[in-house]
Amino acid sequence: MTKVAVWCRHKEDNIIAIGKHIPWNIPSDTLFFTNMVQEKNVVMGRLTYEALPNRTIPNCKIFILTSDFSYKPSDKENHFVVDDINFFKDFAEDLYIAGGAGVYTDFLTKGNKLLPDIVMDCVYEGEMQSGLKGEKREISACIPVLQKKYIKVAQSIKDNVQRNMYIKRGEFVDQAVMKNLLTQMQK
Ligand SMILES: NC(=O)c1ccc[n+]([C@@H]2O[C@H](COP(=O)([O-])OP(=O)(O)OC[C@H]3O[C@@H](n4cnc5c(N)ncnc54)[C@H](OP(=O)(O)O)[C@@H]3O)[C@@H](O)[C@H]2O)c1
């Protein structure tokens, strides 16, 4: 089924986070993400999960990647622990890939069965917040893959964030998934 990667990176350096923080606050971009993943399956790394308000996204099933299989999610019925990314190779339902940096990089670089069908490449063009402490998390390794294996089919801009939709070159993409994403891009 369809795999969709969704990120917002800083234009200059592909940074998506500094330590535990996204170094910009764009409510329309947060809403864009939340609307896209409504009632969907979402996969994310443990640190992204722990950065979510209340460790949840309402109405989503969340798959948390962690090497700690005894990890306790906040919602036992709707959140699941996965310790091997290969679990998603033959995932039977649509899947939204929500970071962080290593998770995006693994999905884009570890072979065709993990490669997303669609990438929602959001690019923040403004200044980053200064004074944040922590390691810079960036996804530069994903960009050459995006340029080589994907083709841009749509773009829009809102609040200094350019939203680009890329699909895999030469492959069929589920029209219903694409239509929903295009609708969200225009909001
Ligand atoms: N701007 C954006 O679009 C965006 C998107 C997503 C997240 N973020 C931000 O990025 C920050 C966190 O990102 P991050 O890159 O530092 O961390 P992360 O990817 O969310 O989490 C890293 C952790 O996930 C687990 N993990 C990752 N890949 C794994 C794999 N292949 N197999 C098993 N476990 C795996 C490991 O957990 P264990 O240590 O438990 O083994 C690892 O330490 C947060 O601030 C978040 O808000 C920004």
Beta carbons within 8 Å of 72's beta carbon, 6+ residues apart: none
For 41-70, what is each residue's pLDDT tens digit? 999 999 999 999 999 999 999 999 999 999
75-89 pLDDT tens trace: 999 999 999 999 999
The radius of gyration of the chain's CA atoms, rounded to the nearest angstrom, is: 16
Q: Residue 104: give its domain's CATH number.
A: 3.40.430.10
Pocket (CB within 6 angstroms of ligand 1): 7-8, 16-17, 20-22, 44-48, 51, 65-68, 83, 85, 98-103, 106, 137
Domain count, the chain: 1
Residues 159-180 have a mean pLDDT of 96
Range of the domain at 47: 3-185
> 140, 168, 139: which is closest to 152 by C-alpha?
168
With tokens 């680009």, the residue in question is 164
103-157, pLDDT tens digit by residue?
999 999 999 999 999 999 999 999 999 999 999 999 999 999 999 999 999 999 9
Atom of ligand 1 nearest to the CA of 48: 20
Instruction: Tell me the best of 31, 43, 48, 88 to mutate to test the pocket of ligand 1, counting ligand atoms within 8 Å of each CB and taking the most.
Output: 48
